[in-house]
Amino acid sequence: MLLAPVSGLIIALSTSLQVTIFGFVTVPQTINDEIVHGYLRSLHGFSADVLLYLGSIHILAALYHHFWLKDRILDRMLK
């Protein structure tokens, strides 16, 4: 869960965009290598996909327990 936002921040640092943290601190461009930038974009996309798939599986498992097994897991999760 940390890999996606951290890689996104590093991608932003490797572009010509001006990155500010909470509107107070401006972070300078630190990485100026296109190969590293491409690798980080791939890593960021992969980690975002993994988060999406795991979240979808989690939702489907909760619905499976609620509608198929009828074991009130979803009710306990929502409380």
Q: Which two tokens stand for residue 73?
A: 């897991």
The total number of structural domains that make up the chain: 1
Per-residue pLDDT of the chain (79 residues; tens, 9 = 90+): 899 988 888 888 787 777 787 888 887 777 777 888 889 899 999 999 999 999 999 999 989 998 999 898 888 888 8
Name the residue range of residue 25's domain. Answer: 3-78
Distant-in-sequence, close-in-space partners of 73: CB < 8 Å, separation ≥ 6: 62, 65, 66
pLDDT digits over 1-19, tens only? 899 988 888 888 787 777 7
